[in-house]
Amino acid sequence: MTWLVENWVLFVVLLAIAGTAAVAVYKFAGLPSAKQVETIKEWLLYACIEAEKELGGGTGQLKLRYVYDLFITRFPAVAKVVSFEVFSDWVDTALDKMQALLEQNQAIREVVKGEDV
């Protein structure tokens, strides 16, 4: 018992290191699997289309924030472990797919843009 009283600082430091390691392992274990990431990316295409319908063109940062707010609501656990930079890359990929869909499919273009093309 006297050893613990004399070396309490060492005990606290070791406890802090163990706690930090436990948090790191928990975050790593909580990372989304490949299937979850694929599902999220498919959902992001939908969210980008909704943002385009809602906000229109020329509002890039506002649309990104709108999609991020939808993402946080839909996937709160994943939002805690995925950085905003990774999320932004996923959105860029979804936007590329959306643009390809808009160029290729007149029906989708009419729904999103509200145009009769």
pTM greater than 0.85: no
List pLDDT tens digits, range 81-117: 888 899 999 999 998 998 898 888 888 888 777 765 4
C-alpha pair distances (Å), 62 with each of 17, 55, 56, 100 = 41, 8, 10, 21
Read off the amino acid at residue 46: Y
Are 85 and 36 a contacting pair, CB within 8 Å?
no
